[in-house]
Chains A and B, each alone.
Chain A
Amino acid sequence: MVTLYVLDVPEFMPIVECARARGGCEIKKFAQGYYRIQAPSEIVLNRKDMKMKPAVWYGLFTGGLIGEIKDWGRDEVRVVGTNKPL
């Protein structure tokens, strides 16, 4: 299981929209101001799909990541579950 938390602010909403469009994950909104995106094995995000500028892309997981970054590039990232300590 891999989990992302995304702050409910305009600059990070493309993460939620991109994940929803790709499917294969469960998205839940919390009243405290975060979205949770969960997937059984991996979540893939594409910078160009999200129309995201590099300065925001490089801080993509600032909302919190319960997982591990497997492939990190300028335009695509894949995160998977982890056994690393939180």
Chain B
Amino acid sequence: MGEHGNSAYMDPSKRAYRTADVDVSTLKRAKDDNVQLRLDGVDHTARPTWKLRETVEFYRDVLGLPLVHTISARGWGAPGHPDFLHFFFDAGKGATIAFFYYLGTDRPERYMPEDHHFYAANHTAWGVESPEELVRWKETLEARGLNVSPYTRHEILESIYFRDPNGYPLEITLRLRDLHRLDAKDAEMTLDAAMQLEDERRGQPERLKDIDTVWRRKGKLVSEFVEG
């Protein structure tokens, strides 16, 4: 039950921030109230774990990320919430990676790791400062016995990938160059192209399934942008 009592958590209106669908079409835009909200980087990301010792030993002892904070608490709030540990490892520049360990629970089937791009899309990517540091991560982790991917050079990132003992995908990445206004304009036109095409297909049986179609619309948008 806990300090917040049961009633607040049973009242749907007070749980709306967790349960209600977000209908973007009804939300006011930042440009309308002229308030520019600001963030100061990542504080933490958090995931559940059902492997307490392996997770602590992996992040603290193998990766060498300092354990900097642990919350240990009775389950509170929602009914049936188990007692838990919530612990944080330092990932540099004030960012941490955090885990919840729910005492006495088993990992549900739907939280099992999968070898699938949908699953791997949800991942943590940490930055390093230099090419030498990226190499040091790869060679050191391999020497410590971990399976690490080959280097993958994307457009602005060069990355290596590996998994933690929970199956969560991790990435170490080097930013290859700074981003400029041009990159932002290009990003906007690529997504505008895709959103326009999806809007045009709304309610029709044929979905947007290939990137070539997006590239053609992008060609049109860029043509209008540069040639008027």
Contacts and interface: CB of A to CB of B under 8 A. Distances in A.
Interface of A: 3-5, 7-12, 30, 32-34, 36, 53, 55-56, 59, 61-69, 82, 84-86
Given A5-B219, A59-B155, 20 more contacts: A8-B182, A9-B155, A10-B177, A32-B225, A32-B226, A34-B226, A36-B226, A53-B152, A53-B153, A55-B152, A55-B153, A56-B153, A56-B154, A63-B186, A64-B220, A64-B221, A64-B223, A65-B218, A65-B219, A66-B219
B212 A69 contact: yes
Contacts of A62: 186, 190, 215, 218
Interface in B123-167: 152-156
Contacts of B177: 9-10
Interface residues of B, number: 27
Nearest to A34: B226
Nearest to B154: A55
6 contacts: A7-B186, A30-B227, A32-B185, A65-B212, A66-B216, A69-B212
Chain B interface mostly:
helix
Of A5, A9, A55, A68, most buried by chain B (CB within 10 Å of CB) is A5
A46 B110 CA distance: 43
A86 B220 contact: yes
Interface of B: 152-156, 176-177, 182-183, 185-186, 189-190, 212-213, 215-223, 225-227
A39 B3 CA distance: 71
